[in-house]
Amino acid sequence: MLHTVIQKLRYLYKPYALAVVSVGYVLGELGHYLIGVTSKATAEDLHYGDISCQLNSTTLALVDLPIQCEVATNESFCMSLELNGSRYCEWSYNGLGLDYQILAGPSFIAVFTVVGVALGVAADKYNRVRLLTICTLVFSIAIILMGAVKEYWHLVILRMLLAAGEAGCNPLATGLLTDWFPEKQRGLVMSIFNWGIYGGYGIAFPIGRYIPKLNIGDLGWRACYYGAGIIGLIIAILTFTLSEPKRKTIGEEETNGNRNKTAVWRVILQPRIIILCLAASIRHCGGMCFAYNCDLYYRDYFPDYDLGWWLFAVTIVIGSIGVVIGGIVSDKFVAKMGVRSRVACLAISQIIATPFAFGSVYFNPLWAIITLGISYFFAEMWFGIVFAVVVEIVPLHLRSTTIGAFLFVMNNIGGNLPILVEPTRRVIGFRESLYIYYAGFYGLSSIMFFLTMFLMDGANKEEPKKEIQSKPKFEFDNNTFINDDGRIPTLELPRLYPPPPHRIENSRL
């Protein structure tokens, strides 16, 4: 009876596997981006980054203030600002500064990229489910320990450990999902999985903003990390229950066959792979610049507005719809146009998202959120489609290795360039720096995706069936014809069917 029940529920296995690896990715990305939302509270506790004059009132609007807090450049001036006899500013850590940028970007990326390549190579040789289980366990433990840090350098070391664990999620899970699901579902499946980046990022807003205020168990911001890490341990156990699928050929490899195994460098150094990777790196930089600075930017420019839930809604709801639609659209067109159609979806979606991304940092809160929502709808189509393209244009035996190398380049460029926001902010302003590295890089990536499209193959054309010339049934076979002299011809030239009108039939009536 138990066997019968298992057989009936077998169709739920693939959705279950997709859910487990996707939730694990969400938690890894939550640990990754949570520092951007808790940075102010963390900086005040651990004493790192910049100190500035900030609004500390939840009842006053900026228009009510006689002097804006950011005008004060020293503590005495800041603490002297009053309205109706009450101070409305505070001189404290703002969560920004070079210390924060290093913590958010390079310290994480340095380990993430190197370990990602190593795990990509390992995924082509060893059991991917077991490796993914270990990775989930490692980053979950790192997140829990981040809640117990006492010094800034403790946080840096644990960010590196978190990066080492999360580095395996994408190359390992991408290979598994590719083997679990057929091509017609692959774009959607990859989009759902890679939505984990935006899911973790979006959830970080309400968790990082509101959980510390609850001060659960007198833990403050630390409760965010304890909770996320414990759930991660549960997902690690569920990941262990999955089974390793049989590796199968897909995309171009199905048509090319497995006659010769291509060298890894020959695959990685293809012009289409290089340009696609550079385009993805530029796009990733734009997204990371906004992800690392979004909450701090809105807190700095609109301290009298609580945008936490709005940012969560835009990221989770609208971003999710964009991710799913991007996968469905690319799956629909890939059958007609081939891999080229997926890259076309990338170029079109990013060029539409660019002006709205600009608006999300140009306008005041209402229109900033509206334009951010429109931008997210189109912009978030990109990640899942990129990796659907990659797995379809590389050989089976190098799939995870190529993804690891792709992520290495993409994250080193896209993950480290956001550090330029800090020096640029000091020279031309916070908003203006986001114009360049956020909206500007969206537009640049769209141009590069468009150029990449021309290097991709179109739809596979069916080879025309060769016409087989067969002898018509109404003709006689004269191969054994005996002429009037009683001799069998020793050489018979190829005949044309039917015989031309001028030919004299050789048979006798």
Which tens digit of pLDDT belongs to each residue from 232-265? 999 999 999 988 887 665 544 444 444 456 666 7
Average pLDDT over residues 32-39: 89
42-51, 229-238, 406-415: least confident range: 406-415
Which pair of structure tokens corresponds to residue 156?
Answer: 């840096």
At residue 468, the pLDDT reads 47
The residue ranking higher by pLDDT, 73 or 225, is: 225
Q: Is the pLDDT of residue 460 over 60?
A: no
The span from the CA of 256 to the CA of 36, in Å, is 46
State percent of the chain over pLDDT 90.
Answer: 25
Residue 55: what pLDDT? 87
Instruction: Please report the pLDDT score of residue 3 as a whole number.
Output: 52
Side chain identity at residue 8, one-letter code: K
Q: What is the pLDDT of residue 491?
A: 47
| Sign of torsion over alpha carbons 333, 337, 339, 345 | negative
pLDDT score of 508:
43
| H helix runs in 363-398, sequence order | 365-379, 382-393
Measured over the CA atoms of residue 289, residue 290, residue 291 and residue 292, the dihedral's sign is positive
According to the model, what pLDDT value does residue 509 have? 38
Q: What phi, psi does 93 have (nearest 5°)?
A: -65, 135
Written as one string, the DSSP assignment of 208-251 is HHHHHHHTGGG-TTHHHHHHHHHHHHHHHHHHHT--PPPP---T
Weakest-pLDDT range from 86-95, 117-126, 227-236, 288-297 = 117-126
Who contacts 464 (Cβ-Cβ below 8 Å, separation ≥6)?
Answer: none
What mean pLDDT, rounded, does the chain reach? 80
Query: Region 313-323: what's the mean pLDDT?
Result: 79
Tokens 């048509």 sit on residue: 255
Mean pLDDT of 427-446: 92
Average pLDDT over residues 254-281: 72
Mean pLDDT of 212-219: 88
Locus of tokens 């833990």: 219
Residue 103 near residue 86, CB atoms below 8 Å: no
| Mean per-residue pLDDT, 139-163 | 94
What is the average per-residue pLDDT within 15-41? 90
**Residue that wins the pLDDT comparison between 213 and 332:** 213
Could you tell me the pLDDT band of residue 487, with boundaries at 50, 70 and 90? low
- Burial label, 474 (beta-carbon count in 10 A; 0-12, 13-18, 19+): exposed
Helix (H, G, I), strand (E, B) or coil at 56: coil
What share of the chain has pLDDT > 70, as a percent? 80
**327 in Cβ contact with 440 (< 8 Å):** no
* Residue 399 or residue 390, greater confidence: 390
Give 288's pLDDT tier (boundaries 50, 70, 90): confident
- Residue in this structure with the two tokens 């908003």, named with its chain if needed: 431
Task: Please compute the mean of the pLDDT values over residues 342-359 and round it to a whole number.
Answer: 90
Q: How large is the average pLDDT for residues 12-32?
A: 89
Q: How confident is the model at residue 4 (pLDDT cuts 50, 70, 90)?
A: low
For residue 479, pLDDT beyond 60: no
Which pairs from 476-481 meet CB under 8 Å and 24+ separation?
476/507, 478/506, 478/507, 481/506, 481/507
What would the mean pLDDT of 412-422 be, rounded to a whole number?
86
Beta bridge partners of 120: none
The yes-or-no verdict on residue 464 having pLDDT over 60 is no
The residue among 503 and 303 whose pLDDT is bigger is 303
**Lowest model confidence (mean pLDDT) among 263-267, 451-455, 467-471:** 467-471
* 126 CB-near residues (< 8 Å, 6+ apart): none
Say how many Å lie between the first and final Cα of the chain, rounded.
Answer: 79
Higher pLDDT, 17 or 494: 17
Burial of 252 (0-12, 13-18, 19+ CB in 10 A): middle
Instruction: Reduce the DSSP state of residue 474 to 3 states and report it.
Output: coil
Long-range pairs, 416-421, Cβ under 8 A, ≥24: 416/105, 416/106, 416/109, 417/285, 417/288, 417/289, 418/101, 418/104, 418/105, 418/285, 418/288, 418/289, 418/292, 418/293, 419/98, 419/101, 419/102, 419/105, 419/106, 421/101, 421/289, 421/292, 421/293
Is the pLDDT at 200 greater than 90, yes or no? no
Query: What is the pLDDT at residue 390?
Result: 82
The helix (run of H) or strand (run of E) holding residue 86 is: strand 86-87
Among the ranges given (120-129, 184-193, 404-413), the one the predictor scored with the smallest mean pLDDT: 184-193
Mean per-residue pLDDT, 58-64: 79
